[in-house]
Structure 1
Amino acid sequence: MVIAEFVIVPLGEKSLSRYVAEVVKLLDRKGVKYQLTPMATIIEAPTVEDVLKIVAEAHELMFKLGAERVSTTVRIDDRRDKERHMEDKVKSVMEKVRGG
């Protein structure tokens, strides 16, 4: 499973919550597993191509919502030696925090 973090910013906007809400609705419609954070959105998808397609669709959505300029940043974690999910990465760290 590919894990990706992305940030989409419609430049010139003071408040982004309405834009983020529309991206979340898009992810829900597509059945994409995601985690919303205060600064980014993290998703899981089977392939890098799937991730890029989803992010591109979210990027284009900003223009449909009226943005004139959009900046998008993506970070991808593509691990091929074993299947990992978002919660696995967090669990691994928390086990170490607790001394496990």
Structure 2
Amino acid sequence: MILAEVTYIPIGSGTSASKYINAALEEFKKSGINFYPNSMGTVLEVKTIDEIFDVVKRGEKAILSMGIKRVETYIKIDDRIDVENSAERKLKAIKY
């Protein structure tokens, strides 16, 4: 499993981005991947690098379709192959 964290920053939308982020989260839900929203971004669990970019693109398109003219998108990728990687495994590793 590959973990990725994505953060979208809709530019020109005012101080609250929640309705735009919710649109991206709906796209993640439709894709069938596991995802974990948090206050600063969303962690994705996917099988391939291509799947990361596909779902991130879908989320960005959802935000742009709401009239936003600019979105900054930040992605971090954790591709670990020596263990079965998951958000749950990482949280257990730090005993949280």
Runs ≥4 residues deviating over 6 A: none
**For the residues of structure 2 that align with 1:56 and 1:29, how far apart are their CA atoms?**
13
Q: Is the 8 A contact 2:7 2:75 kept in 1?
A: yes
Aligned residue number for residue 45 of structure 1: 46
SS of equivalent to 1:94:
coil
**For the residues of structure 2 that align with 1:60 and 1:25, how far apart are their CA atoms?**
12
Aligned residue number for residue 9 of structure 2: 9
**For the residues of structure 2 that align with 1:58 and 1:21, how far apart are their CA atoms?**
9
**For the residues of structure 1 that align with 2:64 and 2:43, how far apart are their CA atoms?**
21
Which runs of no fewer than 5 residues in structure 1 stay unpaired? 96-100
1:15-68 deviation per Cα after TM superposition (whole angstroms, max 9, x unaligned): 101011111111111111000101101100001111111111111221111110
Instruction: Using the aligned pairs only, state the percent identity.
Output: 28
Point out the structure with max Rg over C-alpha.
1
Query: By percentage of residues, which structure has more helix?
Result: 1
Give the TM-score normalised by structure 2.
Answer: 0.93
